[in-house]
Chain A
Amino acid sequence: MLPHGAVCKPGQSRLNKTGSWREFRPNVAFNNCNGCGICESYCPDSCILIKDSVSIVDYDYCKGCGICAEECPKDAIMMEKEVK
């Protein structure tokens, strides 16, 4: 797997889709979201992108920790039970 001893290419962790860990998923209400970016700065898993002034969640990797929902100043994010 690693060509030179223990030297690894960057960002290979993306092969591991941690979205499967989730029990709750964050749903962003675009009407209430003003793209402030607070959720993006606090997401431990680099799963949030602010695009066109709204928060977009990357569900391939989101572990459902709920920090984004907890910290949103507009209460625009709700944690809902994940349906697998």
Chain B
Amino acid sequence: MNGFNKENLLASGHRACPGCGAAIGVRQILKATGRDVIVVSATGCVETFTSPYGQSAWEVPWIHSLFENSAPIASGVSAALEVLSKETKVVVISGDGATFDIGFGGLSGMFERNSDVTYICYDNEAYMNTGVQRSGATPYCASTTTTPVGQYSIGKLENKKDMPAIAMAHGIEYVATTSIAYPNDLMKKVTKAINIKGSKYIQIHTPCCIGWGFDPSKTIKIAKLAVETGLVPIFEKEKGKSLVSKRINKKVPVKEYLLSQGRFSHLFKEEEREKIINEIQLLCDKNIEIFNI
């Protein structure tokens, strides 16, 4: 049911940190795609830990693009496959830094062309590979090295950029969010997406124990909490159909999620800052209402 013992297309020996959420994400994605795929990755955690010189962890064809152009490169691969009349799927696996920020323009271009590519963004909510710098995906009040917490600073001031909404605004074929905590949901969405013609965008929430500040064994627990608070809504939107969201069985107050991670610990050290937790709870409540979860 959860696809266990499906062929492991991410080989052991890769250099990911113990407990890496992104590695779990890649394994689950490849279980859904199978072997007949060409993967393109921008610079980032996944690219770095799967490709030390001469020791690739990929068991499928894989291209490392530049940081900003995994979408355009994938468009080119897709165009070539069309000329060759090959059915091989093209999948991008790039991080939030590459997707929300530096690769934003190129991704928009790919969506404009409606290239036959499944663009999957693994979202660990910062530029983790280079040591936890903020990205557009970093949530409100998270501490990173470029939004450090201090006497006058509460961490990142801006809200998390709504990339799924931006993808939907391009009118592409399929947009979905999912989480490594729900492998069946993730694999079902990837399978669905790769079998649709045109551009597809999937965003996978992949907690990072080093960057977020929690014990490696808790990666899945924290991934589940993120969804159960409503902070990370899980949904899918096929073109021409209504948006379908995953309902939360038992809603959890966002305080529990924030308490579990070092990057939010400053919110609990001063009474003044505790008020901010209410702001974040409102964000969750808004999601719960908008997405009907």
Residues in chain A within 8 A of chain B (CB atoms) = 1-2, 8-18, 21, 37-38, 40-47, 49-50, 58, 60-61, 63-67, 69-71, 79
Do B14 and A37 touch (CB < 8 A)?
no
Give the residue of B10, B54, B60 whose beta carbon is less than 8 angstroms from that of A2: B54
CB distance from A8 to the nearest CB of B (A): 4
A29 to B5, CA, bound (A): 20
A6 to B260, CA, bound (A): 41
CB distance from A20 to the nearest CB of B (A): 11
- Stretch in contact with the other chain, from B66-74, B94-102, B214-222: B214-222
A14 to B183, CA, bound (A): 25
Residues in chain B within 8 A of chain A (CB atoms) = 1-5, 8, 10-16, 18-21, 23-24, 27-28, 50-60, 180, 183, 215-221
Chain B hits for A64, CB < 8 A: 18
Chain A hits for B5, CB < 8 A: 37, 40, 49-50
Chain A hits for B51, CB < 8 A: 8
Give the residue of A8, A9, A45 whose beta carbon is less than 8 angstroms from that of B23: A45
CB distance from B81 to the nearest CB of A (A): 18
Given contacts A42-B220, A44-B18, A44-B19, contact A13 B24 (CB under 8 A): no
Chain A hits for B57, CB < 8 A: 11, 13
A38 to B14, CA, bound (A): 21
Do A41 and B59 touch (CB < 8 A)?
no
